[in-house]
Amino acid sequence: MIFKGILVAILASLCVDAQNSCDLIEWTGGQFEWPNSATKSIYKSSGRYIPKNIIATRGQIFKDDVFLALPRYKPGVPVTLAKVSFKQKGCEAVLLPFPSWASQEEGDSTTLQNVVDLYLDENSILWVLDTGVVNTLTQPIRRAPPKVIAINVLTGKKVKTVDLSGLVCQASRLQYLVVEYAPDGRPFVYVSDAATRSILVFDVAGNIGYRVVLPRALVCSKRDVLYIALTHKPGYENYLVITYLSGSRIYRIRTNYLRSGCADGKIQDLGAKKGKVVILGTDLGSGLFFRFEGKPEVYRWEVGRSFKDYELVYKSPDCYLPTHVIPDVSRQRVRVLESNFPDFIQNTVGCGASQRVSLMISCVNQ
């Protein structure tokens, strides 16, 4: 069943109370389930495992598992895609590489190199955006071409690899990923390329892709962040919401225009922003979650013709900032992935970044 939206708004204070009384997964740095102690020792002594350099920034939930993107921002990240279970016991969550250790060997261009975003579709396929560039905050090294990998979460088997190398240039910075199925059942992948003010569109069944270049008015800086989010209402066309972090306005475009490659003049202006907005995710319907840069408060906006009338639904604890809001379909809830990400960037995390997946709000089906 697709989780279609939120019918009730809960005040932020109530959300925090609910969070404290419900299941919570938290961990520091990156503690993994290793094949054996010898393997762990080898990884550690060779510098391929440095716990304080590991942080989860994006996630998706399937039943009892949370799949996590662990970007290789710095050296010492042994795997870049992992999962953790809601059924785990104990205070510190243990991460399990997904789909395996062998699928993530750094330097092997046939495996995962740097996962920066992921998207779980309604057919239990996890789509993973791999930029191919590691150590992006220290000394960037290209290990492989950029690609999107589709993995069946039920079997752990790779079902498709989408090579994006023909759609990018040297300056490209691929950041976010969403996937939808066209009315005829064909999957389409959308990837934001901030540096070229483009949305990469890939028809997976047709094995063809192209770039949709956005209007210059959207762009503030070539070093900016380009957010995208997929929203929809039953009986209506799907929309891709688009905004740059430093941009003054927020936009959307119907995805049928993107699929057809005819986006000229089709982008709709949804209004001015009251600051730098970080898009965190959706409720798989028309509700979009966001926060303002550097602020712990999460807001929900029913995407419409104007960017206004949004409501406060959550506030992260002290020292934490949300990086992703994740629908938990089987439990009819919405959860938040949060961490002390600014401390991680500034190398002030001590033994490792504090990370958690907590209950944000409870929801009911439409």
pLDDT for 270-290, tens place per residue?
999 999 999 999 999 999 999
Q: How many CB atoms lie within 10 A of CB 268?
A: 13
Q: Phi, psi (5° rounding) for residue 356?
A: -160, 150
Residue 220's pLDDT band (boundaries 50, 70, 90)? low
Instruction: Confirm whether pTM is higher than 0.75.
Output: yes
DSSP, collapsed to helix, strand or coil, labels residue 232 as coil
* 39 pLDDT higher than 90: yes
pLDDT tens figures, 330-346: 888 999 999 999 999 99
Tell me, what DSSP letter sits at residue 13?
Answer: H
- How many CA atoms lie less than 13 Å away from 270 in the CB half-sphere? 22
pLDDT at 122: 95
Average pLDDT over residues 312-322: 96
Residue 58 has pLDDT above 90, yes or no: yes
The answer to whether residue 10 scores a pLDDT higher than 70 is: no
20: pLDDT strictly greater than 70: no
pLDDT of residue 306: 82
Give the closest residue to 249 by CA, choosing from 267, 223, 231.
267
The predicted pLDDT at position 11 comes to 31
189-212 per-position pLDDT tens digit: 999 999 999 999 999 999 999 999
pLDDT-based confidence at residue 262 (cuts at 50, 70, 90): confident
Closest CA to 30 of 60, 52, 57: 52
How far is residue 216 CA from its own chain's centroid? 25
Task: Tell me if 71 sits within 8 A of 338, measured CB to CB.
Answer: no
Please give the Cα distance from 118 to 177 (Å, whole number). 7
pLDDT of residue 217: 73
- Range of weakest confidence among 254-268, 322-336, 341-355: 254-268
Bond preceding residue 140 cis, omega within 30 of 0: no
Three-class SS of residue 128?
strand
Given a contact cutoff of 8 angstroms between Cβ atoms, the answer to whether 29 and 77 are in contact is no
5-8 contacts at long range (C-beta below 8 A, 24 or more positions apart): 5/283, 5/284, 5/285, 5/286, 5/287, 5/363, 5/366, 6/283, 6/285, 6/287, 6/300, 6/334, 6/361, 6/363, 7/363, 7/364, 7/366, 8/363, 8/364
| pLDDT tens profile 103-127 | 999 999 999 999 999 999 999 999 9
Q: Residues 314, 336: contact at Cβ < 8 Å?
A: yes
Output the DSSP codes for 53-105: G----EEEEETTEEEEE---SSS--S-SEEEEETT--SSS--BEESS-SGGG-
- Return d(Cα 265, Cα 291) in angstroms, integer: 29
pLDDT, the chain, mean = 90
Q: Is 164 left (phi over 0), alpha (psi -120 to 50) or beta?
A: alpha
Do residues 360 and 349 make contact, with C-beta atoms less than 8 angstroms apart? Answer: no
Q: Could you give all domains of the chain from N- to C-terminal order, each with its CATH number?
A: 12-362 (2.120.10.30)
Q: Quote the Cα angle for 150-155-158, to 5°.
A: 30
Helix, strand, coil shares of the chain as percentages rounded to 5? 15, 40, 45
Read off the pLDDT band of 305 (50, 70, 90): confident
DSSP secondary structure letter of residue 32: B
Distance of alpha carbon 321 from alpha carbon 75, whole angstroms: 23
Output the six-digit token pair for 46: 């060779």
SS3 at position 44: helix
- The overall longest dimension of the chain from CA atoms, in Å, is 59
